[in-house]
């Protein structure tokens, strides 16, 4: 551990030495702690192979095997792009069972950053003592939103840089991030690429809708307009199911998921693009309900657009929403069927599980008849 600024990690309010982790003399009080200690132990013991569970970004979920060298290369590319330094303290608040949490630990150990770990929660910054300085962290969108909605959103400005991944960053969240000086990025990547391969600047004068690939990584599209990724540390190209607008081998704009495209009367509608536009309407109407767009069968059109919302809304508000849609969207884009769910189902990485959430929802279109 000679490259580390500290001989211990700080986890859930206490110090645990790397030596104790290696000798299995730790007491873990949560699954997160057990997963963190297990991965650090494997890494420090020199393990060369690691098995990862994919989420289905490139096809059916599966187990893949990656090497230590591949993970180190990925970590170093991120460190270079974000200018991470040895004296930094990194906050790990994503479970190391998944690639995002694993790579936060790898980046920390390879760069030599101090490791400060917190059980995943809505606002991990609130768990950090005021006398500790965190320079870098990775969040999922709901954590970033929770921080902004907390009593102390200014804590976000104590960081040097922050990456947000694991799901789409909604336009209203991007807008709220503009007042912060911390360098905040949206990430693009997946388990198959060993976390992110591209970054999008979310705030400041250089904010953009386009992603910039990390050094040495290039992109192109296939005949579906889906992204193909080439990276020197990967075994061959990665063909994704993500539709993208590529403006150069190092730049692209994410459009949406190929498997979330709705074909209505021959018109292809991206669920994610439509969700972004609806999100802007909901922000103006001060509606905070989670939602997603779902394609449902239609005898004439093939599919029609449906809106699925979490938690009930009054009939009067549903009518306001429908009128907004009529004036904002083309006839094929307008959600003509409304569903509601008492509670959405979420994946282990905090994304809405659309299929399972839709199964538990109920049609409330009759309220608008």
Cα 98 from Cα 190, distance rounded (Å): 10
- Per-residue pLDDT tens digits for 324-354: 999 999 988 999 899 999 999 987 777 888 9
Q: Radius of gyration over alpha carbons of the chain, in Å?
A: 22
Give me the residue label for tokens 């969040």.
139
Contact 238, 229 (CB under 8 A): yes
What's the rounded mean pLDDT across residues 66-78?
Answer: 97
Question: Among the listed ranges 18-22, 60-64, 303-307, which one has the minimum average pLDDT value?
Answer: 60-64
Please state the pTM of the whole predicted model.
0.86
Give 10's strand partners: 15, 116
- Per-residue pLDDT tens digits for 85-107: 999 999 999 999 999 999 999 99
The per-residue pLDDT for 350 is: 74
Q: Are strands 337-341 and 302-310 parallel, antiparallel or unpaired?
A: parallel
Contact 369, 337 (CB under 8 A): no
pLDDT band, residue 59 (cuts 50/70/90): low
The per-residue pLDDT for 57 is: 56
What's the rounded mean pLDDT across residues 215-235?
Answer: 96
The per-residue pLDDT for 348 is: 72
What's the rounded mean pLDDT across residues 240-258?
Answer: 95
Q: Residue 113 carries which DSSP code? A: P
Q: Residue 23 carries which DSSP code? A: T
Domains belonging to the chain, first-starting first, are 8-185 (3.40.50.12780), 265-368 (3.30.300.30)
DSSP character string of 215-264? TT-EEEE-TTSEEEEE-TTSSS-EEEEEEEEEEETTEEEEEEEGGGEEEE
Q: Which residues contact 361 (CB under 8 A, 6 or more apart)?
A: 308, 339, 340, 341
pLDDT band, residue 58 (cuts 50/70/90): low
Axis crossing angle, helix 315-328 with helix 271-285, rounded to the nearest 10: 120
- Per-residue pLDDT tens digits for 36-45: 999 999 999 9
What's the rounded mean pLDDT across residues 22-40?
Answer: 96
The per-residue pLDDT for 369 is: 62
């Amino acid at each position: 551990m000679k490259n580390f600024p500290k001989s211990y990690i700080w986890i859930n309010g206490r110090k645990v030495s790397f030596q104790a982790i290696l000798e299995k003399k730790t007491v873990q009080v949560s699954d997160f702690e057990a997963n963190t200690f297990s991965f650090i132990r494997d890494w420090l013991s020199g393990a060369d192979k690691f098995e990862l569970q994919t989420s289905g970004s490139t096809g059916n979920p599966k187990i893949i095997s990656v090497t230590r060298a591949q993970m180190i290369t990925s970590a170093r590319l991120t460190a270079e792009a974000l200018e991470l330094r040895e004296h930094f303290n990194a906050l790990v608040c994503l479970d190391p069972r998944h690639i995002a949490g694993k790579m936060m630990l790898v980046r920390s150990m390879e760069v030599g950053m101090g490791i400060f770990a917190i059980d995943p929660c809505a606002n991990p910054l609130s768990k950090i003592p005021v006398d500790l300085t965190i320079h870098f962290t990775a969040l999922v969108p709901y954590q970033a939103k929770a921080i902004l909605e907390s009593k102390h959103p200014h804590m976000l400005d104590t960081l040097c840089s922050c990456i947000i991944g694991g799901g789409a960053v909604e336009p209203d969240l991007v807008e709220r991030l503009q007042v912060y000086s911390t360098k905040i990025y949206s990430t693009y990547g997946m388990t198959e690429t060993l976390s992110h391969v591209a970054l999008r600047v979310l705030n400041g004068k250089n904010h953009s809708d386009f992603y910039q690939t990390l050094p040495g990584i290039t992109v192109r599209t296939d005949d579906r307009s889906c992204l193909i990724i080439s990276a020197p540390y990967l075994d061959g190209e990665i063909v994704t199911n993500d539709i993208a607008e590529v403006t150069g081998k190092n730049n692209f704009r994410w459009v949406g998921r190929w498997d979330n495209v709705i074909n209505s009367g021959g018109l292809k509608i991206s669920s994610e693009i439509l969700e972004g536009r609806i999100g802007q309407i909901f922000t103006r109407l001060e509606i905070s309900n989670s939602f997603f767009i779902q394609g449902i069968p239609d005898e004439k059109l093939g599919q029609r657009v449906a809106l699925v919302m979490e938690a009930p809304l009054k009939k009067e508000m549903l009518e306001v929403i429908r009128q907004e849609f009529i004036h904002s969207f083309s006839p094929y884009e307008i959600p003509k069927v409304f569903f509601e769910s008492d509670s959405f189902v979420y994946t282990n990485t905090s994304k809405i599980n659309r299929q399972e959430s839709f199964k538990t929802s109920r049609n409330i279109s009759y309220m608008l008849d």
